[in-house]
């Protein structure tokens, strides 16, 4: 009896918005391309002590010749390792590591003030810090661990963004980008993720508000795919789908921080999608409801009536 062969790319294909899709860095998002240079820019990265923050965003912006990286994270040891990697890749990129918890408002405000004083006003914020505290059913999850996920993923993003906006101003003098790292989990009802999934959906909506309130800042929801991080490995049923590299997220973030990407502001963007195809559809994306979270259905119309007045 023949057995069906499992396709490890099936999750990528299911959510594909472009014809071509990738699971690793490709030429258009190669951070070493001169066209994607981040020369002169100060980049803030939360959750920079490990995973995608370390091996994706920090490493890629160093390769793109960023003037300075501000690395924020809870682990001093992890930040030291990230700093070592950045220095090894590009000694000319200044690095400031600040151990801080994203949920600590006073600590984050002080971190931003210190960094701006030493390095100047930032042009890019990557809200990467996030956590899946516990994978379980609603009835078996304790309130404290369920809410802690909201605190880190939602409150942490809010605190970092508010601190960033304070320093860049209402209308930044230089092109400015906010990248909020979300998840494919925000779109469905993945087993055991009653806390994590809604938290990422909340961040997605928060990004839409950023785009509306700050139209001169490009604010994007970035889905990194399924990367071999500690978080991904904590979800047993994700194992067959892991395969997207942290460098793909990093290169894509560099691309988002280059040129005019305002057509993606307030939108959802999966790193596997081909950016050249997206650009070819920019007017369609910008003018419609594509790549936004909304209620599905057919609403309104000339036949609608209202009674009971």
- Domain-located, residue 17: no
Report whether pLDDT(216) > 70: yes
| pLDDT tens-digit readout, 274-288 | 999 999 999 999 988
pLDDT at 3: 59
Say how many residues make up the chain. 309
200 a catalytic residue: yes
> Is 67 within the bounds of a domain?
yes
69 domain residue, yes or no: yes
pLDDT of 237 reads 79
Tokens of 65: 């010749």
pLDDT digits 0-9 by tens, 153-207: 999 999 999 999 999 998 888 999 999 999 988 988 999 999 999 999 999 999 9
Q: Would you state the pLDDT for residue 259?
A: 95
pLDDT-based confidence at residue 240 (cuts at 50, 70, 90): confident
Determine, yes or no, domain membership for 27.
Answer: no
Task: Determine contact, residues 104/158, Cβ cutoff 8 Å.
Answer: no
Q: What angle do CA 100, 103, 107 make, to 5 degrees?
A: 45
The three-state (H, E, C) secondary structure of the chain, written as one string:
CCCCCCCCCHHHHHCCCCCCECCCCCHHHCCCCHHHCCCCCEEEEECCCCHHHHHHHHHHHHHCCCCEEEEEECCHHHHHHHHHHHHHHCCCCEEEEEECCCCCHHHHHHHHHHHHHHHCCCCEEEECCCCCCCCECCCCCCHHHHHHHHHHHHHHHHHHHHHHHHHHCCCCCCCEEEEEECCHHHHCCCCCECCHHHHHHHHHHHHHHHHHHCCCEEEEEEECCCCCCHHHHCCHHHHHHCCCCHHHHHHHHHHHCCCCCHHHCCCEEECCECHHHHHHCHHHHHHCCCCCCCCCCCCCCCCCCCCCC
**218-238: average pLDDT:** 89
Q: Is the pLDDT of residue 123 over 70?
A: yes
Is 12 within a domain? no
State the average pLDDT over residues 280-307.
91
Q: What is the dihedral of CA 135, 139, 141, 147, to 10 degrees?
A: 110
Domain count, the chain: 1
Of 200, 267, 268, 282, the active-site residue reads: 200
- The per-residue pLDDT for 2 is 54
In a domain, 107, yes or no: yes
Is residue 210 assigned to a domain? yes
pLDDT score of 134 = 80
* Contact call for residues 100 and 71 (beta carbons, < 8 A): no
pLDDT at 296: 85
CATH number at residue 180: 3.40.50.720
11 located within any domain: no
pTM score > 0.75 for this model? yes
Label residue 293 by pLDDT band (50, 70, 90).
confident
pLDDT of 18: 97
- CA–CA separation, 289 vs 285, rounded Å? 7
Q: Share the mean pLDDT of the chain.
A: 94
Task: State the Cα–Cα distance between residues 20 and 35, nearest whole angstrom.
Answer: 22
Note if 118 is an active site residue. no
Structure tokens at 241: 């789908």
Residue 42 in this model has a pLDDT that exceeds 90: yes
pLDDT at res. 87: 98
* C-alpha distance from residue 204 to each of 165, 185, 265 (Å): 18, 11, 11
> Which of 196, 267, 268, 298 is flagged as catalytic?
196
d(CA 115, CA 122): 9
Q: Tell me which residue range forms the domain holding 241.
A: 37-283
């Amino acid at each position: 009896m023949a057995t069906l062969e499992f396709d490890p790319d099936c999750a990528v294909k299911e959510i594909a918005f472009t014809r071509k899709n990738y699971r690793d860095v490709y030429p258009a998002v190669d951070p070493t391309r001169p066209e994607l240079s981040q020369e002169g820019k100060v980049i803030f990265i939360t959750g920079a002590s490990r995973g995608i923050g370390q091996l994706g965003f920090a490493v890629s912006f160093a390769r793109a010749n960023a003037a300075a990286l501000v690395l924020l994270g809870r682990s001093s040891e992890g930040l030291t390792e990230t700093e070592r990697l950045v220095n090894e890749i590009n000694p000319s990129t200044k690095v400031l590591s600040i151990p801080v918890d994203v949920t600590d408002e006073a600590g984050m405000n002080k971190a931003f003030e210190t960094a701006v004083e030493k390095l100047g006003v930032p042009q890019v914020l990557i809200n990467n810090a996030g956590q899946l505290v516990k994978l379980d059913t609603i009835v078996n999850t304790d309130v404290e661990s369920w809410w802690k996920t909201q605190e880190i993923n939602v409150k942490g993003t809010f605190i970092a963004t508010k601190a960033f906006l304070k320093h860049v101003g209402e209308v930044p003098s230089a092109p400015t980008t906010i990248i909020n790292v979300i998840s494919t989990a925000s779109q469905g009802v993945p087993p055991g993720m009653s806390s994590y999934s809604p938290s990422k959906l909340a961040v997605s909506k928060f990004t839409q508000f950023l785009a509306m309130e700050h139209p001169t800042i490009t604010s994007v929801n970035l889905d990194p795919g399924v990367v071999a991080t500690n978080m991904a490995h904590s979800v047993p049923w994700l194992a067959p789908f892991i395969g997207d590299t942290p460098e793909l997220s990093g290169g894509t973030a560099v691309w988002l921080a280059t040129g005019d990407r305002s057509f993606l502001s307030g939108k959802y963007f999966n790193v596997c999608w081909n950016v050249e195809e997206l650009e070819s559809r920019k007017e369609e994306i910008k003018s419609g409801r594509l790549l936004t979270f909304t209620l599905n259905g057919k609403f309104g119309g000339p036949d609608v009536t209202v009674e009971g007045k």
